[in-house]
A and B are shown apart, each in its own frame.
Chain A
Amino acid sequence: MKQVFKKIIEFILKWLAKIYIFRANPYVIIIAGTTGRHWIKETVKNALEEKSFSARANKKNFNAEIGLPLSILGLPSGEGRFLNWLDILWQGLKLITNRQLPITDYLVLEMSVDKPDNMDYLLSIVKPNAAIITTITMIYAENFENLDEIAEEYEKLIKKLSFGGIAILNFDDERVKNLKNYFDGRVLTYGFSDGADFQAINVKKAMDGQNFILKSLTDSEVSQIEIKRFGNHHIYAALVKEIIKRNFKMSSSDFFSKMLK
């Protein structure tokens, strides 16, 4: 009974989310991969907000069959309570039928796949304009046979990128790097290894964070970056932030405010 109820909720949420995207037409950035998605999601959102765009990202682990459409609609979870879910579906219906639909420039969405063909379902809800892929590892992937099977899920994501879209790939992960072969559009890479479009070198740890030299192949620029966090996953996030800052145009409000100065 519970499973039937869950399927019905999934189905309704999926269609509410699709209608929202059709009406609001936001630019969709999908962050996928096994690890480090959260930190990249946060920095991408920050980078867009620094450019004066409105951006919305998923909360907590709202990144699968039910969580993803809830994130798109900006609604909370019903947490297994029937009446809560009825209220949430009602809120969703009101949202998509609102004449003055609240508009968000960017939707920054984490996507989590934990079993084969999971990606097909998620991509039936939303198509990406940009996709950022972090790593492909077996850490959370007990339902997959091997790494290649997981990589196939991300191939599907890359193949679904819209015309004029952009793929941002971790150059340090061989399988992620090779995803470039499945997309004819613009590809940018990041990582610690030589050859990455945005490369971190000379990483140093300090008491209050880390700093590194950013070497960019795309504009031959070298700059020093400081972050107040520890761990390589934050360096990756900082590299992606730079990609967003340098490759996404500024919002019209930001453009005009800078012109006036």
Chain B
Amino acid sequence: MFLRTKNINLSPIKTIEIFASKIPDVISLAQGVHSFDTPEVIKKAAHKALNRGLVAKYSLTYGLPELRETIEQKLAEENMYYDFEEEIIVTAGATEGITASLISIINDKKNEVIIFSPAYVSYREIVKVAGGKPVFVNLIENPSADSGQADGWQIDFDSLIKKINFKTAAILFCNPNNPTGTIFPKEDLLKIAELARKKKFFIISDEVYKDFIYDNSAVPFFSIAQISELRKTVIRAFSISKAYAMTGWRIGFIHGDEENIKEIIKVHDCLITCAPVISQYAAMAALDYADKEIKEFKKEYLKRRDLICGRLDELSDYFSYQKPNSSYFVFPKTLKNKDSWKFSLDLLKKSRVAVVPGIAFGPSGEGHVRMSFGRSEKDINEAFNRINKYFNK
């Protein structure tokens, strides 16, 4: 029984959250959710659609045409040209889009998917769910690198080349990276593209944090989906939920060449039929009217990033870190605790602060923890008061 799921694990983030939920008065810096509510303009659009009776029926499997048309317009503003009718699928968050993509790509002959370590925890399990085998390639941490430098967490290309073989179906990465906040430089992405072209594997680029870049001058953000010659190789995922404070609405999209999308849509249809229709109406309002709110969120995150880095500086005997230039996570090294699971559980038990053990993000994440600064300043301060006490008891 359950042979297929025997080796699939619940995400450690969720595991930590479950532990945390049993302890009263916990402050969680574990989950990648932020403290903001969905902007009013989005909620109003959802209400309007609900009251007009538009959300009770399925949408087309691809998603509402008017939403996809809006997505096409948004993509074109970023020099990505995709046909809304055939090349864009509205998904239940980026994760569902990535899962559908991997299920359609992986087969008996090509079943290995390369994932960077550290990278988003669920990638490993998604690959397994899709019947594939995750293959980790380490990002190398440069301890002397400062915020936003290209060599903060570098791709180990020697290792990457060694791990690519005839079974490689795809490389899946998050850019900017979760949990390190690294923005991969254009030259590195082009090197990956060249490998993909030669060895015939797909590139799945998950860009859910691209709206949270604090300084685009250090390493300018570049999307691999901007290169038209790569359109048959690249599948790009984006989550509307992260950018617009809509994580609970479960809404995102993927896009790629028609040739690939027509295969992925079959899986998407089997998985969820269509993305939640009320969320699709909300997403349309988000893309049309909530750019101002994104700017506000970003300003607030910048303040919180500086706050959390300042608090980490006070604990320099216990943590070293690179100031993240994007996303809302910091990934400090725990200088006196090498076992990140043990440390995270101990911190949770003794100080009622939840963080995610670095090992969850891949082998090279060991000896680190991920802290989210999506939480309010009050929560961040209280969490660090407790962490301070934990170390200085």
Contact = CB atoms under 8 A, between A and B. Distances in A.
Given A61-B288, A140-B66, A207-B231, A231 B54 contact: no
Contacts of A259: none
Contacts of A209: 81, 228
B65 A142 contact: no
A180 B231 CA distance: 40
B69 A38 contact: yes
A232 B41 CA distance: 32
Interface string A202-214: 0000011100000
A167 to B, nearest CB: 24
B85 interface: yes
Given A139-B66, A142-B52, A208-B228, A230 B87 contact: yes
Size range of the chain A interface in the assembly = 10 to 19
Interface string B63-102: 0011001001100100001111111000000000000000
Contacts of A261: none
Given A35-B65, A208-B229, A229 B81 contact: yes
A60 interface: yes
Contacts of B44: 80
Given A61-B288, A207-B229, A207-B231, A232 B66 contact: no
A99 interface: no
A60 B290 CA distance: 12
Contacts, number: 48
A232 B85 contact: yes
B289 interface: yes
Contacts of A142: 52-54
Contacts of A229: 76, 81, 83
Contacts of A233: 83-85
A61 B54 CA distance: 19
Contacts of B72: 231
A228 interface: yes
B288 A230 contact: no
Contact of B65 (A79, A139, A232): A139
B81 A230 contact: yes
A231 B83 contact: yes
A105 B72 CA distance: 29
Contact of B84 (A140, A228, A231): A231
A36 to B, nearest CB: 8
Nearest to B82: A230
A139 B65 CA distance: 8
Contacts of B87: 230-231
Contact of B288 (A60, A207, A232, A234): A60
Interface string B184-204: 000000000000000000000
Interface centre among A60, A229, A231 (most CB of B within 10 A): A231
Interface centre among B44, B54, B69, B288 (most CB of A within 10 A): B69
Given A140-B66, A228-B228, 5 more contacts: A60-B288, A207-B231, A208-B229, A233-B85, A234-B83
Interface of A: 35, 38, 60-61, 79-80, 139-140, 142, 207-209, 228-234
19 contacts: A38-B69, A38-B73, A142-B53, A142-B54, A207-B229, A207-B231, A207-B232, A208-B228, A228-B228, A229-B76, A230-B82, A230-B83, A230-B87, A230-B258, A231-B84, A231-B86, A231-B87, A233-B83, A233-B84
